Structure 1
Amino acid sequence: MAISLLRRSALSLGAVALSGLAVTGVTVSPANAAPAAPAASGCSYDGGARYICAYGISKVKYPNGQVEEFHVGTNWWVYSRLSSSGGWSNWKPTHGMARSRIEVFNNNTWSPYLRIIGNDGNYWYRARDAVNGWGSWHR
């Protein structure tokens, strides 16, 4: 009888402790979870962009003088826009998500490529072909 009463008390205390976690908003993560990214507080940029301040704006310059800009939005999506003689295009998603600054390689060519750290903690790349434009993100 005493053991049964102790068991019920322990179960009740465990339920109370778990409900306390839910009320306080504490989340439990697995030991192998990816490192936390910076808070998604945003900076504003012309053209209406809100981006993660710590990651900044990355730029690709093409041989003809055109510039393409990239940023990681506060929703972690990677966005781009292109300059032209009439101004800038709207920001458009590139269908990639990042937890890092966007690194640009082969700048000042028609075939630059980008590197990010994705949500999975791995490096992801996106290359531009001079004929076909930007490809998909790949590892």
Structure 2
Amino acid sequence: MRTMKKIKAVVLAAVAVAGLTLAAAPAAQASPCEAGGGGLYICEYGVTDHALPGGHKEQFIVGTDNAMWTRHTMDGKWSGWVPLGGVFQGRIYVQERPEPDHPYAVIVYGAGPGGKAWGTKRLAPGLKWTPFFCLQCGG
């Protein structure tokens, strides 16, 4: 639990320093765009790119179902889109969070219900994502 509180504090500090607002765009104004590979996302939220070790890449979007989706490259080709879940109302952000035994750990987050930041963590490429957790819900 102590580690999760530290993660929340660091991510919130990064959001504040970067001046990022997790404002929600009204769903009624949302329009769909194609993200390649058949993925549809909410245009206003954009596509978030992230560089992985070894020259690989990954992308994150908020699909037209308001869930977070991701895909990655392998041998120069994009994988299919995979749902991570959640309910998001804005752009997705990636923050690298290296740990002593996990130098490629990341947290991916965005504005969820009530405009609060919700995220998921992965210790290394290819490993599972944690369940979503609220970064601004206290406790």
Amino acid at match of 1:135: T
- Mapped partners of 1:113, 1:106: distance in 2: 6
- Mapped partners of 1:138, 1:68: distance in 2: 21
Does the alignment pair 1:138 with 2:133? Answer: yes
Does the alignment pair 1:115 with 2:109? Answer: yes
Larger radius of gyration: 1
TM-score between the two structures when normalised by the length of structure 2: 0.66
Q: 2:48 aligns with which of 55, 58, 66?
A: 58
Unmatched 5+ stretches in structure 1: 1-33
Q: 1:101 aligns with which of 91, 112, 115?
A: 91
Give the C-alpha shift of residue 38 in structure 1: 5.9
Contact 1:60 1:107 in 2 (8 A): no
Unmatched 5+ stretches in structure 2: 1-23, 135-139
Q: How many residues align?
A: 106
User: Secondary structure of 2:113's match?
Assistant: coil
Give the C-alpha shift of residue 41 in structure 1: 1.1
Provide runs of 4+ in structure 1 moved above 3 Å: 34-38
- Which residue does the alignment assign to 1:42? 32
- Which residue does the alignment assign to 2:119? 125
Contact 2:49 2:57 in 1 (8 A): yes
Contact 1:51 1:74 in 2 (8 A): yes
TM-score between the two structures when normalised by the length of structure 1: 0.66
